[in-house]
Amino acid sequence: MDRIVVLDFGGQYSHLIAKRIREVGVYSELLPYNTPADGLGEDVKGIVLSGGPSSVYQKDAPMPDPRIFELGLPILGICYGLQLIAFKLGGRVSKGRKREYGRAELIVKDFSDLFSGLPGRFYCWMSHVDKVTKLPKGFEAIAYTKNSRYAAVRDKVRKIYGVQFHPEVTHTEHGRDIIENFAVRICGCRREWNAGSFIERAVKEIREKVGEDRVLCALSGGVDSTTTAVLVKRAIGDRLFGIFVNHGLMREGEPEEVIEMLKGLGINFRYVDASERFLRRLKGVSDPEEKRRIVGEEFVKVFEEEAKKLGRFKYLAQGTLYPDVIESARSGSFASRIKSHHNVAGLPESLGFELIEPLRELYKDEVREVARELGLPEWFVRRHPFPGPGLAVRIIGEVNEEKLRIVRKASSIVEEELKKAGLYDEVWQAFAFVGEDRAVGVQGDERRYGRIVTIRIVCSEDGMTADWFRIPYEVLERMSNRITNEVEGVTMVTYSVSSKPPSTIEPQ
């Protein structure tokens, strides 16, 4: 299908550019900034150069293959991408007199292509220091702000465009329209990207790859792995066999719910309760990355042991998503590793399976659309994301039975109260976490020294960035009262008001 490539120069919003393009029905993918021009593929209809933290003049500044400007493809440079265009094609980039960050009013001068159908003035989101001070030959300004004479520029003949602001962020008004104009009007892309077309293509690819072989699927009980299983089952039928490992770190009542649902979907699977085994491995371990490693390592061991009992399988299917790939720095870009994801970075090469990861190019909301199209129950599709290492990353310090009991019950209360208030579907994730800290409380006229529980509720579109939820005080009060009254050993409840970045969604 028609495709737009986003070259990633390390910008915090790079992934959002690809996602916004997909939202208008055009397939897009994020590639490393130095991807060779001849390696982009024949189906590419346009190129976007992302923003980034570098200056074009600094030593070792990331630069694209200069041949991309000779391909005859439309190009859109965003922020650093615009500065690259000016720098590489004969313009001039200079240090700004002051940092331009936040909202700025954009005044549009030309409405023929990039700003087609948009008003003459609207607010955009700026985040830069350097700026273009001289345009390359053949370029013209098509929009400006008070501090940026060249806030949007164009070479109409070569179809090369640049904007100093960030149309991909929600703070920019009409940002989606700008991206749609570039993808559809300028690049001429067909709107072929949707859940139905993805399923059709994925099923075909799975059938071609697997042939008559059998496939094992690692089931975690979440939307990602379950959607993967249903997708593979549609492609090869009963030659799919799942292994559902309960590591003892799941939500309250979750193993039973998952077992019932998998049976209803007609998926062949083996259930393994390895709770005690995982807890033994985690005993005495406090380092968050080490906990993630142990959970991933033990999961693989249990999975291998169970797989041997089922006979020979050539392929392993798992629910790896696009953010997993990016955050684990497996995309080939220079993105730093934020956290290891046990279904991406933890699998040893000696595992002996060929991987099938049909969702690895999807964001979470896209997986949900695919799940709906495949007929998964709505209550399951709408359920909040849950980390692969489970409650181990919602427990600061050592994982033990007491903390597990507290965080499991407290998180259940948080979700219940959100649903009662009609707020569950308005947020991305909502849970409680517990650490080593304790506080003195008074319960039944007695002083108690108990655990501190923190409630964490965030809003997000894809899990790559997130903002803390401004929860009504009366709802928060009900959560706090219930947790301190119903969860034994808790004397204080706090609320997390940190966004991602600088924090991550999960506490560990």
Q: Is there a single domain that holds both residue 204 and residue 310?
A: yes
Looking at the structure, do residues 243 and 352 belong to the same domain, yes or no?
yes
Block residue for tokens 């007491």: 402
Name the residue among 20, 18, 79 with its Cα closest to residue 54.
Answer: 79
Within 13 Å of residue 103, how many CA atoms lie on the same side as its CB?
Answer: 8
Please check the confidence at residue 128 and state whether its pLDDT lies above 90. no
364 plus 312 within the same structural domain: yes
Q: Which of 15, 79, 247, 327 is catalytic?
A: 79
Considering the entire predicted model, what is its pTM?
A: 0.75
Positions of E strands within 370-506 = 429-443, 446-459, 467-468, 490-495
Question: For residue 348, is it within any domain?
Answer: yes
Q: 394-417 in b/e burial notation, b at 16+ Cβ within 10 A? A: bbbbebeeebbebbbbbbbbbbeb
Same domain, yes or no, for 119 and 250? no
Residue 267 counted as domain residue: yes
Q: Identify whether 65 is part of a domain.
A: yes
Whether pLDDT at 329 is above 70: no
Catalytic residue among 23, 168, 173, 180: 168
CA distance linking residue 218 with residue 304, whole number of Å: 10
**Mean pLDDT, the chain, integer:** 90
Decide if 209 is inside a domain: yes
Q: Is the pLDDT of residue 263 over 50?
A: yes
The catalytic position among 15, 124, 128, 166 is: 166
360 lies in the same domain as 462: no
pLDDT tens, residue by residue, 265-295:
999 999 999 999 999 999 999 999 999 999 9
| Mean pLDDT value across residues 361-385 | 91
Instruction: Look at residue 446 in the predicted model and tell me its pLDDT.
Output: 74
**Within-domain flag for 139:** yes
Q: Which of 327, 348, 381 is at the close of a domain? A: 381
Range in 67-81, 190-204, 313-327, 370-384 with the lowest mean pLDDT: 313-327
Mean pLDDT of 226-240: 95
One domain for residues 432 and 376: no
CATH of the domain at 35: 3.40.50.880
Statement to judge: residues 40 and 81 lie in one domain: yes
Strand ranges for 367-445 from DSSP E: 429-443
Q: Determine the pLDDT at residue 332.
A: 39
Confirm whether 59 is domain-assigned.
Answer: yes
Distance CA 246, CA 218 (A): 11
Q: For residue 176, which phi and psi values (nearest 5 degrees)? A: -65, -35
Q: Are residues 22 and 144 in the same domain?
A: yes
Counted domains in the chain: 3
Residue 140 — very low, low, confident or very high, per pLDDT cuts 50/70/90? very high
| Confidence (pLDDT) at 96 | 63
Q: Catalytic residue at 166?
A: yes
Are the C-beta atoms of residues 331 and 323 closer than 8 Å to each other?
Answer: no
User: Would you give the DSSP letter of residue 433?
Assistant: E
Q: How far apart are CA 186 and CA 113, in angstroms?
A: 7
Respond yes or no: is residue 417 known to be catalytic. Answer: no
Clarify whether residues 181 and 207 are in a common domain.
Answer: no
C-alpha distances (whole Å) from 174 to each of 106, 180, 186, 323 are: 11, 10, 17, 25
Residue 75: domain span? 3-186
d(CA 146, CA 107): 9
Q: Which of 156, 186, 216 is the last residue of a domain?
A: 186
Total Cβ atoms within 10 A of residue 314: 15
Q: From CA 356, how far away is CA 314, in angstroms rounded?
A: 10
d(CA 200, CA 40): 23
Q: How far is it, in rounded angstroms, from Cα 248 to Cα 505?
A: 21
Last residue of a domain, one of 162, 186, 210: 186
Active site annotation includes 187: no
User: What stretches of 288-400 show up as alpha helix (H) in DSSP?
Assistant: 288-309, 322-327, 364-374, 378-381
3-state SS assignment for residue 172: coil
Q: What is the CATH number of the domain that holds 200?
A: 3.40.50.620
For position 333, what pLDDT does the model report?
38
Of 97-101, 123-127, 165-169, which range is least confident?
97-101
Q: What is the model's pLDDT at position 148?
A: 87
Radius of gyration of the chain (CA): 25
- In angstroms, how far apart are the furthest CA atoms of the chain? 80
Angle at 351 between CA 345 and CA 357, to 5 degrees: 55
- pLDDT tens digit sequence for 330-369: 333 333 333 444 443 345 556 678 889 999 888 888 999 9
pLDDT score of 296:
87
pLDDT for 36-67, tens place per residue?
A: 999 898 899 999 999 988 889 888 899 999 99
Give helix then strand counts, H and E, for the chain: 13, 18
Angle between helices 364-374 and 223-236 (to 10 degrees): 50
Please indicate, yes or no, whether residues 238 and 375 belong to a single structural domain of this protein.
Answer: yes
Residue linked to tokens 């130095």: 34
Q: Is residue 472 part of a domain?
A: yes
Q: Judge whether 393 lies within some domain.
A: no
| Residues 344 and 440 placed together within one structural domain of the fold | no
339 and 419, same domain (yes or no): no
Q: What is the CATH number of the domain that holds 444?
A: 3.30.300.10
Instruction: Check if the beta carbon of residue 163 is closer than 8 Å to that of residue 77.
Output: yes
